[in-house]
Amino acid sequence: CTVPAVGVPSTRGGGWILGLWHITLELTQPPEPLLLLCPSGTVTGYLDDCTCDVETIDAFNNYKLFPRLNELLQSDYFRYYKVNLQKPCPFWEDNSHCGMRDCAVQPCPSDEVPDGIRAGSYKYSEEANSLAEECEEAKRLGAVDDSLSKETRQAVLQWAQHDDSSDSFCEADDIHSPDAEYVDLLLNPERYTGYKGPDAWKIWNSIYEENCFKPQNVKRPLASGRGESFIYLTKWVSRVCVEKRAFYRLISGLHASINIHLSARYLLQDSWSEKKWGPNITEFQQRFDEVLTNGEGPRRLKNLYFLYLIELRALSKVLPFFERPGFQLYTGNESQDAEMKHLLLEILHLAKSFPLHFDENSFFAGNKKEAAKLKEEFRLHFKNISKIMDCVGCFKCRLWGKLQTQGLGTALKILFSENLIEKIPESGPSYGFQLTRQEIVALFNAFGRVSTSVKELENFRNLLQNMR
**Is 22 labelled a binding residue?**
no
Give the Cα separation of 33 and 52 in Å (integer).
Answer: 10
Q: Is 278 in contact with 265 (CB distance < 8 Å)?
A: yes
- Phi and psi of 177, rounded to 5°? -65, 145
Nearest-CA neighbor of 288 among 308, 311, 264?
264
The one catalytic residue among 38, 50, 103, 394: 394
**Catalytic member of 38, 52, 391, 397:** 397
The answer to whether the annotation marks 461 as part of a ligand binding site is: no
Residue 193 marked as a ligand binder: yes
- 299-302 own/partner pairs: CB under 8 Å, 24+ apart: 299/234, 299/252, 300/41, 300/252, 300/253, 300/255, 300/256, 300/259, 301/41, 301/42, 301/43, 301/256, 301/457, 302/35, 302/43, 302/47, 302/48, 302/249
Distance of alpha carbon 295 from alpha carbon 41, whole angstroms: 8
Pairing of strands 43-45, 275-278: unpaired
Q: How many CB atoms neighbour CB 306 within 10 A?
A: 23
- How far apart CA 86 and CA 441 sit, in angstroms, is 20
Query: CA-CA distance, 386 to 23, in Å (whole number)?
Result: 43
Is there a catalytic annotation at residue 52? no
397 among known catalytic residues: yes
Q: How far is CA 419 from CA 315, 318, 343, 372, 413, in A?
A: 15, 11, 26, 15, 12
The answer to whether 255 is a known ligand-binding residue is: yes
Active site (catalytic) residues: 394, 397
Q: Which residues are annotated as a binding site for FAD?
A: 191, 193, 204, 252, 255, 287
Q: Which residues are annotated as a binding site?
A: 191, 193, 204, 252, 255, 287
